[in-house]
Structure 1
Amino acid sequence: MARTSLTVILPSTWHAIIIFLFIVLLHLALPSSAQPEYDALLKFKASVTNNVVALSSWTASAPPCIENIANWIGLLCENGAVGGLQLQSMGLEGAIDVDALAQLPNLKVLSFAGNSFVGPFPNLAALPNVRVVSLSNNKLTGAIPTDAFVGMIALVKLDMDDNEFSGEIPASLAGLPALQELMLQNNMFQGGLPQFREGQLKNFSVVNNDLTGEIPPGLSHLEASAFLGNKDLCGNPLLRCPNYPLQLSIWTMVMMSLVVAAALVALIAVIVILCRCRAVPRREHDEITRVMVLVSHSTEAPMSNLECGECPPSVAAAPPNVRMTFLKEDRDIFDMTDLLKASAEILGSGLFGSTYKAALSERQIVVVKRYRHMGNVSRQDFHEHMRRLGRLNHPNVVPLVAFYYRRDEKLIVYDYINKTSLATLLHGNRSRPGHKILDWPTRLSITKGIARGVLYLHNDLPSLTAAHGHLKSSNVILDTNQTPLLTDYGLVPIVNQEHAEQHMISYKSSEYKHTGRITKKTDVWSLGILILEILTGSFPADFLKPKKEAPDADAAEWVESVTSDEANMFDTDMTRERECEAEMVKLLRIGFACCKSEVEERPDIKEATQQIEEVRERSSFNLELRN
């Protein structure tokens, strides 16, 4: 009887022993220094909502790091320790648990860009060793304490753009000895700018805030584009600040008024003559500025109904016609007067300028792009190039309708498309209700449309080295039928060279970094990067926004990181389409071939497009089964 009882009890006993030994071995596998990190990461995961899928690999089945290899998604590992968190665009929500992160003593990189974290500014001072912090495109709110950054002597890069921060920019930022990049655009900061050291910041933006006062000398070396959208900022590199009058006696003021009045009477004739000679060109410039100011203050409201407080002087008066140059004969002609009367809204503001939607009538809606950084192109060259672009006609290219040229002002008008960008669909918040899943057939169709559009540009613009030159997911628009349309094409010859080198995608290619030149195959390289982005769902953030300390390695490192495991690198939205995997891998390898660092090893655009066209929705074997 006892023997029978032993036989029954023994298996369960051994199960318990095995489980106990597994737990012991797991803890022994973790270095003593790694256990606090393990606990800290699990604590951070517990504080984040929507983490079930995004952080599914954060479990007890494996240690976070083994030497320099990360077992958990989003970790940067160094000698077995956690050196960084890169959790961009993963749909994470909730508050940022800094107390948990403070238990990671080797943490140097912290990137939560493109999520939905809420609450006030986190206490980053609890992370004194952190070098790079990106909180871009979240929902953080409120004022930041002036001493919030005291002690962060290692901080090199801080991105807090596209949140809802308010109050003054913390003065403690100016005291950070290593800080080189500070991005604060698209918030609600008020007050003046801190007194940064001269030349301290290499990359800086406070675009679209509510800042006031004079730009301090330590920031005067930056471009004016870093300060746009703050109507009360002044000083170099913007307009000079007004010189406020001194306190004078009443008698002095009366005498000065009499002198000024006499001078005005003497100059009336000259003023009238000058006004008659220069009224038209001056009024043209005023009308452009007036239109854009009105558009930027309106949201689906007729411009004529705006309150006077939002209007420039004399806006109620009938403006003169500022004529556009039209490139399509099948479009209704309009001018700046019509734009003033249209209902309008601002669609966005980017590195090249601002974009506006204007509804001229129920059947005529256009997009007006106001481009900066084109001041070096002559009127003749600009007109010639625009007419060349205006002749383009392809189902995968957004048509150009009209344009306007001034030395300091370039407007380009496109047809409006009820649209969303490919970048939004790939990297938007996937936890949001109504999120559209991009399956494999849709992604393949989009890729083929993009390749056809680029091939068409190369065939019809043979004189351009890079016919598109700025191919990326945010410059691909999808209409209601998911048909891709290319925008911002053909800009290379007319954008100021220094701005093109800093921001256009073609100038991030390996050939430009090594030789200082772009080639006919540079667009093929951009297409390859875009194919990898479409298939993996991973945003090549390092490539699009290069690191200061390693600008030559970003694109290559990203490509290398997504080539390590072909079978498991596809976007999770396509994981159920295993019957299509052979064709998916085929397109993936075309992408790899297109973005090889050696130009000679890449296919040309015609070869690449032909190879993409040969990819099918399903493998031949599955097609035969279906038939």
Structure 2
Amino acid sequence: MLLPFLLFFLLCNSLAPVNSLNAEGLALLSLKQSLQDPEASLSNWNYSDDNPCSWNGITCKDLRVVSVSVPKRKLYGFLPSALGTLSQLRHVNFRNNKLSGRLPAELFGALGLQSLVLYGNSLSGSIPNEIGKLRYLQTLDLSQNLFNGPLPAAITQCKRLRTLVLRQNNFTGSLSDKFGSNLLSLEKLDLSYNNFSGSIPSDMGNLSSLQGTVDLSHNHFNGSIPASLGNLPEKVYIDLTYNNLSGPIPQNGALMNRGPTAFIGNPGLCGPPLKDPCSSEVSGASSPTSLPYLPDNSAPRGTDNGSGKDGRTNGLSKSAVIAIVVGDVIGICVLGLLFSYCYSRICASNQEKDENGYGFGKERKGRKECLCFRKDESETLSENVEQHDLVPLDPQVAFDLDELLKASAFVLGKSGIGIVYKVVLEDGLTLAVRRLGEGGSQRFKEFQTEVEAIGKLRHPNIVTLRAYYWSVDEKLLIYDYIANGSLATAIHGKPGLVSFTPISWSVRLRIMKGIAKGLVYLHEFSPKKYVHGDVKPSNILLGHNMEPHISDFGLGRLANIAGGSPTLQSNRVAAEQPPERQKNLSTEGASNLLGNGYQAPEALKVLKPSQKWDVYSYGVILLEMITGKLPIIQVGNSEMDLVQWIQLCIEEKKPLSDVLDPYLAEDADREEEIIAVLKIAIACVHNSPEKRPTMRHVYDALDRSSISSD
């Protein structure tokens, strides 16, 4: 009797790890069992874990699976129905694998699904009607598979759908009549290289959110081109090549001024921009109605050179010809005088203003640009911003706009110059993306020149701008992601968090020297000897080894060009707020709102920043790192800035211990170094700009004081 009991006990213990894994983990293990994994990408998917949140490709929120993403891993097999049991599932991505079989209808039981990306596999069969249940679906990319059958009409119930890409499949049948009426959020549409047939829905012209190329090419669409397609945004390129379309090409809106390449491969199409005239045009060429209008619609009579017997004239009289010639000469002279006046007055004025930095005349490669007869900015923009694509500023940029938009994004912070996101691409690359906002003055060329100049800056203590994106409604700046947050948080902690690990004096010294190095590079070695203009701890980011990276350089100007609010302007507005609105500020709030704490005194009088502004701001940062205090200090019932407070302490001859950050008490034996840095800081915040040192002198002074950055 003991032996069976012992076997039962051992069997229970061997099954214990299975029982410890939650239901979502079991569902994912059924996926693993249905796949062959030659690269062992799913090797850490194990029964022994309590939950799957640490597994490769799995993202959880509150211990619930929200994303399954295993792209480009050569996975074989099929998708099991168990995936649909993940009730909080939001994103599924198996792109560029070797999956086969059909899409299980049960997958669409995950009603919160927002993106389904399966392109580059060998999946087949039709799309289940259950897809209509996915009311939150935004991205559906099934391109480069073997799907067939009609596109279910139920897909029009996915009214939040923004991206629909079905390229290179075997879909057949016609599109739903409600395609353009229901899918009003669509921004990207690619149905190319399929076997779709029937007419193009007339309501497709309602898709006013579409961008880029609407690709319906290489199908079997027939009938005429709906004139309503002209209602699409004018910057949208409509590719209708290689279908069975017929009839005249409508000449309105987005269909106008397109080259023939958008329509070739449709033998039945006629009219401009094709060379094939429509039949009515051919017959009309010889009909009486094609003649110039005459009162009696008859051919002109009279054959002599002057006047005929009937009194009609076949040509202009000599006096009329002379009058026309004289008028032309006078008109040319007037235009010449007008141009000369414009050049001498307006262009000369612009050249003079350029020297002061605020005119419209621009120097472009040694040639002055006179904008007396300037094109409208919207027209200039349309010439330059057609592709709406990501522009890399570094040859090592290997991601594209699609990868960026499909990536996971988390808000890092908000300010008057837009929102900053932490973006994690599918391959694990992490970026910081600043969204400058929508609308604004559309000065694309100016923005392009400025952003590409910033993109050329390369220094280990300056955040690198890797790429940018511009469209009329969206401007993005893509930077390296810096892992350890801002210097403001490192000095003061994060609002609301009790735990706080202060940084030691030696680390602070390394940070001080790194910031100085970055500013010396900007001031002396950058192509235009730049000024940052907004140096403060929230703009100093810290890397893995606490090395400093100066961020947001040039951001105020870029935001101004793009229509945002420049940093300095927002700081001045904040400085004018009543004291009661400036009390009890968080660390980041004080750093961002009370920007005047870091700005030089002359900033309120002089509009154009100078390098001495940066020196003053750097001095305030040194004081902040020594004292651990915010730039605005509450003293009794009043407030004073940090510079005034430190000067008061010096006048009252207070000991260093009264000034020093309490967290630096353990570093009291390094008093000599601390006093040396304090002297440098006081020199930097001198009230007179002329008496402040340059950043080169500041950096040299740190070295002469035997301050180590190790």
Same fold (TM over 0.5): no
TM-score by length of 1: 0.45
Tell which has more relative contact order, 1 or 2 (C-alpha 8 A, sep 6+). Answer: 1
Give the TM-score, by structure 2 length: 0.40
> Which of these two proteins has the greater Rg computed from alpha carbons?
2
